[in-house]
Chain A
Amino acid sequence: MTRYLAGRIFAGLVTLVIFVTILFFMAEILIPGDYVTQFTLGMSPQDRAALRAELGLDQPLLTRYLDYMAGLLRGDLGETGGGGSVIDALIAFLPWTLLIFVFAMAIAFPIGHRLGKIAGWRDGTPGAAGLTMASVGLYTLFPPLLVFFLVVFVSGLTDNQGIGALRALLKDGALSVDVAWSMLWTVVVIALALGVAALGLDRYHRTLPAWVWALGLIAGPVLIWMARGMWSDVIVILRYLALPIIAVAILAFGEVALVSKSTVKEASHEEFVFAARAKGLPDKDIRDHHVARYALLPTLSKLMVSVPFMLVGLMIIEISFAWPKDGAFGMTVPGMSSALFTSLENRDTTMVLGGLLAVGIIVLLVRLFLDVLQAALDPRIRIGSRAQ
């Protein structure tokens, strides 16, 4: 297992290096001009040259690339055009996006998986066809349209002052990013602990009941937040992030349901289903204990491929909430997309690179996590990798 893990991590690092290389040269092509041309209209040519030299923008492309890679090895992503370090900027922006993603998936996955399971098992019936069509509809829904509907119909009901208020609170210092980070850690750590418990029980052929999962995932974080005295901050954050979370959950739901449906359907043709049927097991038991359990891994690995696309959907939703700037919603989520697009407007290449790199690393981490999960659950993968 350790060897397998080490191999996966090494492969991930190689991929990351290639990824950064592609990204670096692509950003040079994609973003014409640089931070200096964008902001120094009144400056003399000498001052401009000096500023360029200070930011290191006068070096040839290859030197800058090597500098960037060397910085990356030291965990330094360079400086933003404004002067702060890119890492600090990412720490301030990332947790909001990740919070939305984690909470949305926590809503979308259980519901989507359950419904997809039913649709895949009963494929061919009108109900399943309707569910499939609904999922396809949600999967291909144009995000700004969804955001508009949510703002018009839901935001009025919940007396939402707008997500923009969250940004103001952050600026005043009434709310700190640390709260968002510790919210994130709590949820992730509890989910991991439950997962490890489930794997442990699996050795003794027992499953962790769904209600333990639900109770642990809901009551666990709530208790910890209350104990640490950050409950009121959490409530404020969740109230402001509710709309983006709902929007992302609706979009992700369709995808989860479709993927679950197809994997459950494929699994229901396997021979062990025949055997279970021949044993005289009730239909529901075969579905829940044999087919759905078997189909869980392919579902996860297929969803893993869609994680980058879900992140894009999430960013599109963030931007849509902030659009139009002068108009109806103007609810800027203080997340990744606003960071990415502001720096894009400022031609702040280092920050854009840092943002895209963060997306890549998140995807890579999710992939690594699922690889390990698969290896832990499926001995064929462990043994197969050793044989190679």
Chain B
Amino acid sequence: MIGLVLLLIFALMAVAYPILIRTVWDPNIYDPETGIDLTVVDKVYVEEVTDPATEVGRVDAFLNDPFAQLGDVVTVRAPAPTGLAHLLGTDPWGHDVLAMLLAGASSAFVMATTAALTTAIVAITIAAIAAFYGGWIDTVLSNISGALLLLPVPLLMIILGTSEIGEHIGPAQFGFIYGLLAGAGAAAIVVRSQAVTTMRRPFIDAARSTGASSSRIVLRHLVPHLIPLAAIAMLIGVTGAIVADAFVSFLAYGDNRFSWGTMLNAAIRFPSLRGLFDTPWHLLIIGGIAISLLAASFYLVAIGIHTAFDTPKVKRS
């Protein structure tokens, strides 16, 4: 239940960003990469700051003007404060955090949905073919699935994302490739065993004896029985895709689109100049929680489907 609600919220967020940026939000301020909202104040660079309104210390002077000498007047950029205009505040460079959150949602959501659907479709196709034809086709397909199971798909996607190919694949392609590999591997094994037991059940023989065609048996009788299990497999698989995708953009590889990983990258890179505790915490935590919650919502929906279809043999008193 919670999972569905969360998923719905993320879907809304993904839709909201393009609408908001076209209607209400000024792209000069709210675009997550180019839009900034800053106030500019001239301050004097001094050794010891006594009056923060007119003076500035070493680190801040360096951040705003790397060539500043003691006693110079430095133009200090102050990001706009949290308020009605910026509900979640701004980061140290003046980007709006809420806009970043929403902009990241659309790419993550597109990626996750593509990955989920591809996983399910590939898994069901392979499982249905293997169970329906049986024999050597089944042997070949299950051996390939077993071999793919040895290969952690998220690791492969990280390698792919950080290689040169990664610069040319968008979120949809990323999800598609993930889905192909995950669907042919782990998901196919789970769904195939279900398909094999379904093929042995009497209603398949009944359909055969009434003269139903192969395609009718597969599509109308076999596949509907595989959908719940495939749904669970795909939703659990998606969590890995989300983490892999976020990690690639966290390392600043990939196709340079804006995403939640980029937010974390910016947040963690920032304090290398000032010391660890000076991290823009809201940026870090909001980005990180968004990634976790999206993954968690898929996982929770999977658990929900599992309990809905899995009726216990004996009810505990």
Question: Do the beta carbons of B160 and A30 come within 8 Å of each other?
Answer: yes
Shortest Cβ distance from A124 into B: residue = B316
Q: A interface, by DSSP: helix, strand, loop or mixed?
A: helix
Closest A residue by C-beta to B239: A140
**28 pairs from A and B in contact (CB 8 Å cutoff):** A15-B147, A16-B150, A26-B156, A30-B159, A32-B163, A32-B164, A140-B299, A142-B247, A142-B250, A142-B288, A144-B264, A145-B264, A152-B277, A266-B310, A266-B312, A269-B315, A269-B316, A270-B313, A270-B314, A308-B150, A312-B158, A312-B244, A313-B243, A323-B268, A327-B269, A327-B272, A352-B159, A359-B155
Given contacts A148-B284, A305-B186, contact A22 B296 (CB under 8 A): no
Q: Is A324 an interface residue (CB 8 A)?
A: yes
Residue of A nearest to B251 (CB): A323
Q: Is A319 an interface residue (CB 8 A)?
A: yes
4 smallest beta-carbon distances between A and B, as pairs: A327-B272, A145-B288, A308-B152, A140-B295
Quick check: is B54 within 8 A (CB to CB) of the other chain?
Answer: no
Please measure, in the bound complex, the distance between the C-alpha atom of A271 and the C-alpha atom of B279, giving whole angstroms: 55
Interface membership of A139, Cβ < 8 A: yes
Q: Chain B: residues with CB nearer than 8 A to chain A? A: 143-144, 146-152, 154-156, 158-160, 162-165, 186, 239-240, 243-244, 246-247, 250-251, 264, 268-269, 271-272, 276-277, 279, 284-285, 288, 291-293, 295-296, 299-300, 303, 306, 310, 312-316
- Measured CB to CB, the nearest residue on chain B to A327 is B272
CA A237 to CA B251, docked complex, whole Å:
27
Contact assessment for A344 and B243 in the assembled complex, using a CB-CB cutoff below 8 Å? no
Q: Give A140 to B294 CA distance when docked, in angstroms.
A: 9
Min CB distance, B257 to chain A, in Å? 18
Question: In the complex, which residue of chain A has the Cβ closest to the Cβ of B252?
Answer: A324
Query: When chains A and B are docked, how far (Å) is the Cα of A270 from the Cα of B315?
Result: 9
Q: Is the CB of A364 within 8 A of B243?
A: no
B151–A360 contact, CB under 8 A? Answer: yes
Q: Determine if B247 and A316 form an interchain contact, defined as CB atoms under 8 angstroms apart.
A: yes
Given contacts A316-B247, A324-B269, contact A309 B313 (CB under 8 A): no
A319 to B243 Cα, complex, angstroms: 14
A352 to B146, CA, bound (A): 21
Q: Are B159 and A19 in contact (CB under 8 A)?
A: no
A21, A32, A268, A326: the one contacting B272 at CB < 8 Å is A326
Q: How far is the CA of A323 from the CA of B272 in the complex (A)?
A: 11
A328 CB-CB contact with B under 8 Å: yes
Partner of B151, one of A144, A268, A356: A356
Known: A313-B243, A359-B150. 13 other contacts (CB 8 A): A18-B146, A19-B151, A30-B156, A30-B159, A30-B165, A142-B243, A142-B246, A145-B264, A266-B310, A311-B152, A312-B152, A319-B251, A359-B152
0/1 string, A26-54, CB within 8 A of B gives 1: 10001110000000000000000000000
Whether a CB of chain B sits under 8 angstroms from the CB of A214 is: no
Nearest CB in chain B to that of A362: its residue: B150
Q: Please, which residues of chain B bring their CB within 8 A of the CB of A143?
A: 243, 247
Interface residues of A in 241-299 (CB under 8 A from B): 262, 266, 268-271, 273-274
A341 contacts the other chain (Cβ, under 8 Å)?
yes
Contact mask A161-194 → B, CB, 8 Å, 1/0? 0000000000000000000000000000000000
- B152, B243, B264, B277: most-surrounded residue (chain A CB, <10 A): B152
- Of A31, A144, A311, A316, the residue contacting B158 (CB under 8 A) is A316
Q: Nearest residue in A to B268 (C-beta to C-beta)?
A: A148
